[in-house]
Chains A and B, each alone.
Chain A
């Protein structure tokens, strides 16, 4: 098919000659691509939509929860499309197989993977669309396409003067053949990647107009609150439903799988009614344990069973038997809540044969499964509309809050919004697991000859697979969901990736030690857990990098020099370690009354070294300065990288100084920010972040800032007091623990 200038004028005027062009991608669940005459819009692929009115829409499949995908991923596609990122309107993706995270085969945002997994496909998509627009323009002008160029939403004629805006070309471009071999721009020609720019969502988030899940407003919408069992596994015996039903504004009181839901016309009416709700709980099968029991059980399990061998270099037992000394230490870390500032919430509307859900979720396809479970609908009948997320940190990978909204909506004809209170959000979180680590090292002649790390605690996939496995096979009948969950676990490590959530950061111990053994004693106390910013690295980092500090001390070496000597074979580790030592002036004198600690840790493919300077004043820990060197490969947006690393440091310091969820007789003791405090601005240290220039493939930055700051601070406190901190949260006097 050829088109000349006259045809171009005809079709671009949109008068006649319908040229609807649609084809499905292989394995596609229905994202229609091609040109839609009635809307004057062209979708060259699952991501882009360009209109005759020169609008460019980008479907954002990795949700925006603060980590910057809205800006970063838009920048990637903009770079190759040759459109200013600020001129692109991102739209949150519906559930479709095209939008799955290729690493997980699920549509989820997590694991610091968004930039890494989008780096090639989004640039490729942008380049292909650009090439089709150029081909279309070349045909209009009857010139060689290779002499045309694209810039800021236009194609430029080889004469350097004439231009055509993309809007005039979209219809024609849709009939061009997609070229998958189109070359990506060389780094030297990048206009947007690697340049510090603002955030595309900053204005909406500074004017109150950004729409979060909690902000959804629908006609006739009602509100619900849910009272959940205070102990895990408790069942409802009875409740005073008729009393509650009679309260002002209450529309219905219903028992759902997760508790008692009160539906009212207004949120506050539902909350007030909830205060009068009396539920008799049947605690026969309930978990009655306390945090002390958890750790006692961990220690016993560790004594009884050294656990699965997860790494075995050389022969640690042999090294230990022949060593001058074997040092041992154990470390404990508590349960931690996510405390997203936007509490859990979801809105659902049951239409009889379909359901629509609006929710701030990190995993909309799992949300569909959660909603399908509590209704007679299949996942395909359920639409999930994702919003901005008021924080995620892993919490919104679990879809319990969507399940609740769907269960309530299923019994109503009107849309219903379920909002959790802060107290509910804290007490019914799924936590970063409490963990125990037992460390051993053999030392001879002042050198470390062996390293043994026994990780003791649960793993997250046991809790996550329930909805994750069916989400990978959404066409499977619902009666198979639980089977899929079980099969998913059984096939773990065979058909599905091995769950390394408990041992990540332990198995990849990077130092040059001849005999390294890592074990996992798998014990699950039954307290719900899920992913929490930096996951297993968050606790393994503390254990490994504190024990390294202990070994430096025991062998009489400087903590930096000790690590430096053992990491010479790992150039990227070595570079960030050297960089942070130089930045902080490690060897320079420290202001009196203060001390410094150092830690080096890789997570999610990103290398981070940190130095923390701290003091103890009036019995409180004060963090004065944090220096951080980071190597995350190519940088798409240096400002966002810096923000994420800094935010990660604050998240880690919050855990180190304040974070602790405890259970007493099966009930979570904390409830709100007075007893689960977050770091406030007056506690903020000076944070200096330095990013290594790199041509390596980009890696994540959302999480890697978190793990090293916790041991670095603990190590600083040891340097200050001579008391080793082996339990979190850190205390001004470790001996008072």
Chain B
């Protein structure tokens, strides 16, 4: 079936089975590979994107639920080439190890800071508790989010 959705600000019309998880549409139909497949069951958070501003697990969201809505992926987080403050913090803190979970971590953190710009440690842990990291980068993730929330380390333009 044909459906339309807006991805990173661009309207896209696709011919795809409505029960296909949004994840595979984003990755394979739209070619945006930054959103990752980890578990297919909403348990690891690697596939986190924003749907109309809300963080969702795209691996368990059928694409027809996204029809007519707006999707933001990790590729859409930077604005006009300038990295999102969280991405800058991730680079500055050297957060990623294997890096596979980090798109999802950043998308969860971006939602948190949008609604709670002064988030504290407990808020950060709660907001990111659904995002697994097998390499164990949790303490750097928390520190990087805290730095943005407190305005410590990176400029906050575009936050």
Contact = CB atoms under 8 A, between A and B. Distances in A.
A646 B37 CA distance: 25
Q: Which 8 residue pairs across A and B have the least CB separation, nearest first? A: A208-B34, A650-B136, A205-B99, A66-B98, A390-B100, A66-B97, A208-B74, A205-B96
B98 A206 contact: no
A470 to B, nearest CB: 29
- Interface size class on chain A is 35 or more
A67 B97 contact: yes
Nearest to B33: A215
Contact of B103 (A201, A208, A650): A208
- Interface size class on chain B is 35 or more
Contact of B100 (A67, A207, A342, A650): A342
Contact of B90 (A65, A206, A639, A646): A206
Given A207-B78, A266-B28, A681-B125, A421 B40 contact: yes
Contacts of A339: 134
A390 B101 CA distance: 8
Nearest to A639: B94
B132 A678 contact: yes
B97 A209 contact: no
A681 B102 contact: no
Nearest to B29: A266
Contacts of B131: 681
B149 interface: no
A202 interface: yes
A192 to B, nearest CB: 15
A391 B100 contact: yes
A643 to B, nearest CB: 6
Contact of A268 (B24, B87, B103): B24
A65 B96 CA distance: 11
Contact of B37 (A197, A209, A214): A214
Contacts of A388: 98-99
Contact of A422 (B39, B95, B134, B142): B39
Nearest to B136: A650
Given A672-B39, A687-B139, A201 B96 contact: yes
Contacts of B128: 681
Given A202-B90, A680-B132, A266 B100 contact: no
Contacts of B134: 339-341, 391, 393, 651, 678
Interface in A187-240: 197-199, 201-212, 214-215, 217
B39 A205 contact: no
A417 to B, nearest CB: 9
A44 interface: no
B39 to A, nearest CB: 4
A212 B100 contact: yes
Contact of B91 (A65, A198, A422): A198
Nearest to B62: A268
Nearest to A345: B37
Contacts of A214: 33, 36-37
Interface string A656-681: 00000000000000001110001111
Given A207-B83, A341-B132, A199 B96 contact: yes
Interface in A453-490: none
Interface of A: 64-68, 197-199, 201-212, 214-215, 217, 248, 266-269, 272, 339-343, 388-393, 419, 421-423, 639-640, 643-644, 646-651, 672-674, 678-682, 684, 687
Interface in B11-31: 17, 19-21, 24, 27-28, 31
A390 B99 contact: yes
Contacts of B27: 215
A673 B125 contact: no
A679 B132 CA distance: 8
Nearest to A678: B132
A684 B98 CA distance: 19
A673 B39 contact: yes
B65 interface: no
A684 B74 contact: no
A573 B102 CA distance: 36
Contact of B129 (A68, A197, A643, A682): A682
Q: Which of A248, A673, A679 has the most CB of B within 10 A?
A: A673
Nearest to A223: B28
Contact of A343 (B38, B74, B93): B38
Contacts of B141: 681
B136 A679 contact: yes
Q: Which of B40, B133, B137 has the most CB of A within 10 A?
A: B133
Given A205-B96, A207-B87, A267-B24, A651 B136 contact: yes
Contact of A341 (B33, B91, B101): B101
B28 A202 contact: no
Nearest to B124: A681
Contacts of B38: 341-343, 422
Given A268-B21, A419-B37, A206 B136 contact: no
B138 A202 contact: no
Given A198-B92, A267-B28, A391-B135, A206 B87 contact: yes
Given A341-B134, A342-B100, 20 more contacts: A64-B98, A66-B98, A197-B94, A199-B96, A206-B87, A206-B99, A207-B77, A207-B87, A212-B36, A341-B44, A390-B36, A422-B41, A640-B94, A644-B97, A648-B136, A673-B41, A673-B43, A674-B41, A680-B129, A682-B125
A647 B101 CA distance: 14
A674 B33 CA distance: 25
B43 A207 contact: no
Contacts of A679: 136
Contacts of A389: 98
